[in-house]
Chains A and B, each alone.
Chain A
Amino acid sequence: MTVTQERVRRPQSRAAGPRPDVDGRGALKRSVGRNLTAYGFLCGALICFALFSWYPMVREVVLSFQENNFVDPGKWVGFDNFRNVIEDPAFRQAWLNTAIFSALALVVGYAVPFVLAIVLNELKHAKAYLRFVVYLPVMLPPAVAVLLFKWFYDPGAGLFNQILGTFGIPPLAWLDSTSTALISLVLVSTWMNLGTGTLIYLAALQSIPGDLYESAELDGAGLFRRIWHVTVPQTKLILLVMLLLQVVATMQVFIEPYLLTGGGPENATVTVAYLMYQYAFNFGDFGGGSALGLMLMIVLMVFSTIYLRVSREAER
């Protein structure tokens, strides 16, 4: 039976008699039949999410209220794990460091790719080559990229101090100083993730109709006014999504402090995710680690909810 025939028959059967149940089941069956392939694909995704995202999440919530040695059944301890991690002297420092890291990463890591995308979009020559160059760091495994910066930051023979030296600027301690360690991590993180952000912004910029710029130009708008009145409003949605992604990602910063500073100097780079790792894997306290993870999740959920509400209001 063709789709056309089916469409023709449907009103007739409805008019013929009151058999809504049978008819409904038939419609459901047909609908399922038509979308079987889609459901098949959906099942795969659902199974993957259930196994690798939702189940670990549920387990984490459970673990955060348990003392568990993974041998005996977990013992419920109420909020003890939360109390323990909150009393940890490194707890406050970790949240503060994470907040500062996220704020700095937002200032540097959010603006730079956008500016870079605008510049790339305006270029007439070597566009493809420069896009490749900008995206290159993303292709490096994160551990390799981070270890590369370990050498760049070396206070003795490191690349950055050699560059400073050529301008007669005295060497910096970079990772070895409490005042520069965190910003040094932000630079690594920005460099590593620059390419993805730039490409997304670039795609958004290229979807802006050219006549909008032409009209603005005819109205006498200069470069910055064109960016402010055309580019920014036209890419607003992407900018908002990227902001959310950026905050969610940077609040979970782990690999940079883990590989570059081990949380030092003087806990200046201990982040919430790093502290979570310490609890779970170095102290063997999965309850404490899970409690920290749950706290981080709640903070990020609250942030996301407020952010979405505010941006929805702004849209209205």
Chain B
Amino acid sequence: MTTRRRGLSLLLVAGLGLGAVSCGSGDDKPGAQGSGGADGPVKITVGCQPPKSNAKEREGWDADVVAFQKLHPNITIESKDAFPCINPDTFQAKLAGGSQEDVFYVYYTDVQKIIKARQAADISQYIGDVKATKDLRPDVQGVFKSEDKTYGVPRNNYNMGLVYNRKLFTQAGLNPDTPPKTWAEVQAAAKKIAGLGAGYTGFGEYSAGNTGGWHFAASLYARGGSMVGEDGKTAAFNSAEGKAVLENLKTMRWNDNAMGSKQLLQWEDLMRMMGSGKLGMMIGAPDVVQSVNNDFQGKFEDYGVTAVPESEGKSSLSGGDGYMFNPKATPEKINAGLLWLEFHELTPGQGQFNYQRAKEQGRPVGLPIPDLYGDSATGKEIVALRKQFATVPVDHFTPYVTAQASITNKLEPPKAQELYAVLDVAMSAVLTRQDADIDKLLSDAESKANKILAKNT
């Protein structure tokens, strides 16, 4: 019996304690399929085909694939659907298991980490053939660059703003056409909205699962602060701006009682609260409205977006997504993939910019994203098309769009997720503890962040 018990315990320890992070093999070899000559047949796998549950967008994607293959008979696109398009839990496993797409979808947050880990192909020598990239905003192109080398193509680009519920503004006696421009105005508006009754939250903020640190960075940038020093090896958030971010939250949470009692909120929590129509304001990009409308029972017409208060003349944390290439993709596959991306993601009137089709399908048109081209000729063409086929109230996003002229996009810091995890502590402390010592929280976070950044070679 003793032997049996020992065997049992060893099996338990071994089976339960291990294995969670170690599946997969790193021995994948590049597939021979589709690696023909310059004009030979090429087959590429492309990620982020809309899922079956999103029938209209999927129909559009599939039609685009057919049209593209007609234009390029030697190229076959094998679409891969997944929702969400990238999942950090499966990214490494797919790469290790050899099932990573040739052209894979990625968020801005992960781009530099992927480049640093050499998990994407260098496409510098091929990108010159993509004419559409000449008009791309340099900062957007810069997201996918490292030391003058290019590793990907953007699909979406935006920066943070203030998302607000216009209906609640009206209910609280506020004018939804003149959203808050200063944090003092945000505090006053939040107080009024929270005063509408039990369950109403004036201002919502994240503080768990690394999302708290992410929004700390967004608020910090908008106040003119920085997460890291110039060399990227020291933390710079223990500053007057960093302190102001936390003090502002502390005031709204404890003095004004305008942030609700439930904290440790993560992405989905605020989306759900916004969709339910009980949340007044939150930091977020225009894509928040899209998610709230599509997945959380909100209605486009109830929401508006403006710039983050007091951010004009300063910066805003940029976000977005795009595509990178499997490091084992052959040159033929990379060329074919770039042709597809130019066709589907970068050309006005086609693919993602086919607003006419989107309108006919009853899909929302008119959000001020993606902003890939800025004020260039291509950018203007896209804005005009968007206006022509708009199905959502474009005016609701005017304050956000107008402010863009004076706001600089700022990228996430190096070691973003690690720093966000550290700053979650400060954010959760301020939102869950009335006696939170902001100076100490920032100082502790700074020393932890410095240790992390010191390893950032």
The interface of chain A, by Cβ under 8 A from chain B, is: 52-54, 56-57, 59-60, 63, 68-74, 84, 87, 89-90, 154-157, 171, 173, 175-178, 237, 240-241, 244-245, 248-249, 251-252, 261-267, 273, 276-284, 286, 289-290, 293-294, 296-297, 300-301, 304, 307-308, 312, 315
B208 touches A57 (CB 8 A): no
Q: Mark B416-444, 1 if CB is under 8 A from A, else 0.
A: 01100110110011011100000000000
Q: Which one of B1, B20, B89, B260 has the highest number of Cβ atoms from chain A below 10 Å of its Cβ?
A: B20
Give the residue among B28, B199, B260, B417 with the most A Cβ atoms within 10 A: B417
**B264 engages A176 (CB within 8 Å):** yes
Count of A-B contacts judged by CB separation below 8 Å: 195
Cβ-closest chain A residue relative to B98: A70
Nearest Cβ distance between residue B259 and chain A, in whole angstroms? 12
The answer, among A266, A276, A286, for a CB contact under 8 Å with B92, is: A286
If A90-B421, A266-B425 touch, does A59 touch B262 (CB 8 Å cutoff)?
no
Whether B73 is near chain A, meaning CB under 8 Å from some CB there, is no
- The answer to whether A72 touches B16 (Cβ under 8 A) is no
* CB neighbours of B14 from chain A (8 A): 53-54, 57, 297
Nearest residue (CB) in B for A278 is B421
Q: B451 near A: Cβ within 8 Å?
A: yes
Contacts A176-B263, A237-B1, A304-B13; is A71 near B19 (CB within 8 Å)? Answer: no
- Chain B residues with CB under 8 Å of A157's CB are 198-199
Q: Is B22 an interface residue (CB 8 A)?
A: yes
Inter-chain CA distance A282–B8, complex, in Å, is 33
Q: Which 3 A-B pairs have CB atoms at the shortest separation, nearest pair first?
A: A262-B208, A262-B209, A60-B22
User: A71-B328, A264-B425, A286-B21 are known contacts. Are A89 and B208 too (CB-CB below 8 A)?
Assistant: no
Q: Is the CB of A262 within 8 A of B6?
A: no
Which of these, B24, B417, B433, contacts A283 with CB under 8 Å? B417
Which chain B residues border A156 with CB–CB below 8 Å? 198-199, 260-262
Asked if residues B10 and A301 are in contact (CB atoms below 8 Å), the reply is yes
Residues of chain B contacted by A315 (CB below 8 angstroms): 2
Known: A69-B118, A90-B421, A249-B16. 4 other contacts (CB 8 A): A56-B19, A156-B261, A178-B433, A261-B208
Min CB gap B232→A, angstroms:
16
Binding site for A on B (CB under 8 A): 1-2, 5-6, 8-10, 12-26, 28, 88-89, 91-92, 95-96, 110, 113-114, 117-119, 198-199, 207-212, 260-264, 266, 327-328, 417-418, 421-422, 424-425, 428-429, 431-433, 448, 451, 455
Q: CA A273 – CA B18 in complex, angstroms?
A: 10
22 pairs of residues in contact across A and B, judged by CB atoms under 8 Å: A52-B19, A57-B14, A59-B22, A60-B21, A70-B95, A71-B328, A90-B421, A154-B262, A156-B261, A157-B198, A173-B432, A178-B432, A241-B8, A262-B208, A265-B428, A266-B425, A266-B433, A276-B20, A277-B20, A279-B21, A289-B21, A300-B17
Shortest CB distance A150–B (Å): 9
A262 CB contacts on chain B under 8 angstroms: 208-211, 264, 266, 424
Would you call A290 and B22 a contact (CB within 8 A)?
yes
Chain A residue contacts of B91, Cβ below 8 A: 284
**Cross-chain contact B13 with A281 (CB below 8 angstroms):** no
Cα distance A249–B13 in the bound complex, in angstroms: 9
Report how far A171 CA is from B262 CA in the complex, Å.
Answer: 12
Contact between A57 and B262 (Cβ–Cβ < 8 Å)? no
